[in-house]
Amino acid sequence: MSDGSSFYITTPIFYVNDVPHIGHAYTEVAADVLSRWHRQAGDDTWLLTGTDEHGQKILRTATANGLEPQEWADRLVASAWKPLLETVDIANDDFIRTTDVRHEEAVGKFLQKLHDDGHIYAGEYEGYYCVGCEEYKQRDELDEPLSGEYQGQLVCKIHSRPIEILKEKNYFFRMSDFGQRLLDLYESQPDFVQPESVRNEIIQFVRQGLSDLSISRSSFDWGIKVPWDPSHVVYVWFDALLNYATAVGYGDDPELFARRWPAYHLVGKDIARFHAVIWPAMLMAAGLDVPHKVFGHGWLLVGGEKMSKSKLTGIAPSQITDTFGSDAFRYYFMRAISFGQDGSFSWEDLSARYQAELANGFGNLASRVIAMLQRYFDGEIPVSGEPNEADLEVRTVVADAATNADAAIERFAIHEGVAAVWTIVDELNGYITEQEPWVLAKDEATRERLKTVLATTAEGLRALAVLLSPVIPKAAGTLWAALGAQDALGDITAQPLRDAGRWGQLPAGIRVSQLDALFPRIEAAVAS
Ligand code: MSP
């Protein structure tokens, strides 16, 4: 995909009933790493994120806080959700809010089309609803606790809170018409839903048969009005899923829509079903292409449980970034957790990896190489002589790392991508230990060899900085500038990523400059 092809990637839009925790930041970072990678590789990239502001959950939270829902949403977006993007260094291209006029208008058009084409009918809904999930529930999705506060009541298995029983006149989407087409889609496009565990669950769910979906509510009015019946508002998930289309011109700018659509969707596995069943069925009904992919990543676990605000295990992203910085946050979660699987967060693990991998492994390597260039060559990158076997080995490792990382990122295996890049760190550290440039520097007779060794490590760092820039943009940019590459080669983000493994790009004769520790020692004890 190095031909400038479209790479449109989305995060879920987040509920504004509460402030973000590290689970939300995790999705943001993963999407940002993928989009920075593709953007730097020359693909026509677009990263969308935003907020989900309608529905009963937000209405109730706002009311409980004595505010109108719109005012509540405005406050949360300004004070919490947009600042999150700064906190973890997200380079998004757009931020959509479901209360944006552009979104509300396009949702109306979409609904009207489905209505005109006979995909919607009026009916009566009678059943269970969990406001926490904003989802209609079946009996087997509920528990009946034998003890505790809610003993004898029906509670949602996810939120452990009582559900509500609804009896309303609703409009329904004929989703049951699309079961077979969805199964055909999963079959013919096996990577449509990933990872495999999520795909299997989705297929099993659809095979059981789909019901029609209630897509409107009439008992409250915080939502987008149904165009032909303004006494109803659109069901919050139906409204929310459409953000992915309305943000890129659906209903308004067909040219833009054709350029961006279809999308790659990153979601937590808890909401994969909405994205891999309801959403493609909606698109099929409207005659639009289905997404390229729905990737359901795993949960961050704290103390073995899914981290969540409602269970009071939520950790604010700034608790981590204030001490370790945004790069360390990004690196840690992308490296330590196999993307697609659950992963446990612990302060000990974060501190240990920070120290071993970022500070000692990468940071020290960069500082040592720059310091040796300053000490032995007055800061000038020397001309390399003929490479020996060890030098050639470095070149091979760099080339392989670049190829393997790109292939892993293409598969959304972010952890493998980072690990592939890290082979350069290990190789360069081993190379320096073996070549002992400080010994070579003692003898004029080995001066030429010293030049080759330091030119080789500097060029290795050049490739490393470029390949790390989607993951740890700040540190990579600092190293880039210290290498003198900024002046010689231009901005790091303008370096074609798929060419990063090509040897010999950093010109001899340019000057390095002082590099302070990229990942300084953290003295303060970290609270656990
Ligand atoms: N508003 C809906 C999504 C609509 S998309 C059309 C929603 N919002 S949410 O605020 O609850 O955020 C859900 C997303 O946050 C999850 O899909 C996941 O991306 C992320 N996470 C929330 N808790 C998480 C963990 N503990 N671990 C990992 N990701 C988590 O659902």
Mean pLDDT in residue range 331-350: 96
According to the model, what pLDDT value does residue 524 have?
Answer: 57
Please give the distance, rounded to the nearest whole angstrom, from the Cα atom of residue 487 to the centre of ligand 1: 42
Quick check: 525 pLDDT over 70?
no
347-499 adopts what CATH topology?
Answer: Isoleucyl-tRNA Synthetase; Domain 1 (1.10.730)
According to the model, what pLDDT value does residue 371 have?
Answer: 98
| Protein residue closest via CA to atom 29 of ligand 1 | 23
Indicate the angle between helix axes 447-468 and 364-377, nearest 10 degrees: 140
Does the C-beta of 240 come closer than 6 Å to ligand 1?
Answer: yes
Tracing tokens 């493998």 back to the chain, one arrives at: 416
**Interatomic CA distance for residues 471 and 330, integer angstroms:** 6
309 is catalytic: yes
Please give the distance, rounded to the nearest whole angstrom, from the Cα atom of residue 51 to the centre of ligand 1: 11
Domain ranges of the chain: 347-499
pLDDT digits (tens, 9 = 90+) for 43-97: 999 999 999 999 999 999 999 999 999 999 999 999 999 999 999 999 999 999 9
21 is catalytic: yes
Mean pLDDT in residue range 376-385: 98
Quick check: 299 pLDDT over 60?
yes
Can you give the three-state secondary structure of 355-412, one letter per residue? HHHHHHHHHHHHHHHHHHHHHHHCCECCCCCCCCHHHHHHHHHHHHHHHHHHHHHHCC
Q: With pLDDT > 90 as the criterion, what percentage of the chain qualifies?
A: 91
Please give the distance, rounded to the nearest whole angstrom, from the Cα atom of residue 20 to the centre of ligand 1: 10
According to the model, what pLDDT value does residue 502 have?
Answer: 98
Quick check: 2 pLDDT over 50?
no
Quick check: 403 pLDDT over 90?
yes
According to the model, what pLDDT value does residue 12 have?
Answer: 98
According to the model, what pLDDT value does residue 312 have?
Answer: 65
**Interatomic CA distance for residues 411 and 501, integer angstroms:** 19
- The full DSSP string for 301-356 is EETTEE--TTTT----HHHHHHHH-HHHHHHHHHHHS-TTS-EE--HHHHHHHIII
292 is catalytic: no
265 is catalytic: no
Residue 98 main-chain phi, psi, to 5 deg = -70, -5
According to the model, what pLDDT value does residue 83 have?
Answer: 98
Q: What's the pLDDT band for 528 if we cut at 50, 70, 90?
A: very low
Does the C-beta of 15 come closer than 6 Å to ligand 1?
Answer: yes
| Protein residue closest via CA to atom 18 of ligand 1 | 268
pLDDT digits (tens, 9 = 90+) for 324-334: 999 999 999 99
DSSP 471: T
- For the beta carbon of residue 99, count every other beta carbon within 10 angstroms: 21
pLDDT digits (tens, 9 = 90+) for 33-45: 999 999 999 999 9
Starting at the edge strand found earlier in the chain, the sheet holding 216-217 runs: 216-217, 229-234, 225-226
**Choice among 113, 130, 169, 474 that is catalytic:** 130
**Choice among 113, 115, 169, 309 that is catalytic:** 309
Please give the distance, rounded to the nearest whole angstrom, from the Cα atom of residue 17 to the centre of ligand 1: 12
**Mean of per-residue pLDDT scores for the chain:** 95
According to the model, what pLDDT value does residue 311 have?
Answer: 60
According to the model, what pLDDT value does residue 152 have?
Answer: 87
Quick check: 160 pLDDT over 90?
no
Counting ligand 1 atoms within 8 A of each CB, the residue from 27, 134, 414 with the most, and so the one to mutate, is 27
Nearest to 54 by CA among 23, 92, 99: 99
Quick check: 310 pLDDT over 80?
no
Counting ligand 1 atoms within 8 A of each CB, the residue from 19, 29, 48, 267 with the most, and so the one to mutate, is 267
279 CA: nearest ligand 1 atom: 6
Quick check: 285 pLDDT over 90?
yes
pLDDT digits (tens, 9 = 90+) for 465-521: 999 999 999 999 999 999 999 999 999 999 999 999 999 999 999 999 999 999 999
Counting ligand 1 atoms within 8 A of each CB, the residue from 271, 283, 294 with the most, and so the one to mutate, is 271
Please give the distance, rounded to the nearest whole angstrom, from the Cα atom of residue 455 to the centre of ligand 1: 46
Quick check: 1 pLDDT over 60?
no
According to the model, what pLDDT value does residue 527 have?
Answer: 46
Amino acid found at 392: L
According to the model, what pLDDT value does residue 402 have?
Answer: 98
pLDDT digits (tens, 9 = 90+) for 404-441: 999 999 999 999 999 999 999 999 999 999 999 999 99
**Interatomic CA distance for residues 193 and 276, integer angstroms:** 7
306 CA: nearest ligand 1 atom: 26
According to the model, what pLDDT value does residue 395 have?
Answer: 98
Q: What's the pLDDT band for 7 if we cut at 50, 70, 90?
A: very high
Does the C-beta of 14 come closer than 6 Å to ligand 1?
Answer: yes
pLDDT digits (tens, 9 = 90+) for 121-157: 999 999 999 999 999 998 988 999 989 899 989 999 8
According to the model, what pLDDT value does residue 373 have?
Answer: 98
DSSP 261: P
